[in-house]
Amino acid sequence: MVRLRLQRKGRKKAPFYHIVIADQRAKRDGRFIERIGSYNPMTKPATIELDRDKAYEWLCKGAQPTDTVRAILRFKGVMYRKHLMKGVAKGAMTEEQAMAKYQEWIEAKESKIASRVEETKKEREDFLRKVSGTAPVIKETPVEEAPVEEAEAPAAEVTEEAPVTEEAPATEEVAEAEAPAEEEAPSKDDNAEG
């Protein structure tokens, strides 16, 4: 059975893949029939180069994609084209209408990808600008400070306006009760003299 699958390339922890047509019994990185594209997951967004026409031809011939390659084919629109061509075979639309829909879908997808690449490029430039080693210039705005007299006056008003409660005399009574107790207690100096 013929499969559309990935063939790993690249060094340790930095993979990239070739998208190949290979016999199911062949080794992963071994013999293949045809190379139809490449896939680099290390970039942001992932870089996918694919010959859509060859991939579609192989799908029509009966080649089965692996799960990852199926996702790539769906992302690049090959599976959508196959879906549209099934509609043409059933008589739901003409081939020209199907190809017009397909081209419209491809253009929309490519514009989305291009905008995402631009966003990533801008984010990268902003990051490099931040870590370049030059400190950003911060413009300080003068802060108007209130005069000291005005700041103290509201605090005095707050204490004067505070309502007097019945607890205030109770605290004075406690203070008076403690004061005589201290006076009655003999100190060490008094015992030493007498």
3-state secondary structure of 77: coil
3-state secondary structure of 2: strand
Residue 157 lies in a domain: no
Q: Report the number of distinct structural domains present in the chain.
A: 1
pLDDT of 58 reads 94
Residue 79 lies in a domain: yes
- Domain containing residue 22: CATH number: 3.30.1320.10
Looking at residue 20, the DSSP 8-state letter turns out to be E
CA-to-CA dists, residue 136 to 99, 126, 152, angstroms: 53, 13, 38
Residue 146 lies in a domain: no
Q: Are strands 34-40 and 47-50 parallel, antiparallel or unpaired?
A: antiparallel
Residue 121 lies in a domain: yes
pLDDT over threshold 70, residue 20 = yes
Residue 171 lies in a domain: no
3-state secondary structure of 61: helix
pLDDT of 193 reads 53
Q: Which of 46-55, 82-91, 144-153 has the lowest mean pLDDT?
A: 144-153
Residue 164 lies in a domain: no
CA pair distance 19, 28, nearest whole angstrom:
11
Q: How confident is the model at residue 37 (pLDDT cuts 50, 70, 90)?
A: very high
8: which strand partners?
17
Q: Which alpha helices (H) appear in 64-94, and where do they start and end?
A: 67-76, 78-90
Higher pLDDT, 143 or 96: 96
CA pair distance 105, 77, nearest whole angstrom:
8
Residue 103 lies in a domain: yes
Q: How confident is the model at residue 139 (pLDDT cuts 50, 70, 90)?
A: confident
pLDDT of 147 reads 64
Give the domain range for residue 51: 2-130
* High-pLDDT (> 90) share of the chain, %: 54
Residue 180 lies in a domain: no
Mean pLDDT of the chain: 81
Select from 29, 31, 33, 34 the least CA-distant residue to 6: 29
Q: Which of 45-59, 110-124, 150-164 has the lowest mean pLDDT?
A: 150-164
pLDDT over threshold 60, residue 95 = yes
The first and second tokens of residue 117, run together, are: 């690449």
Whether pTM > 0.85 for this model: the answer is no
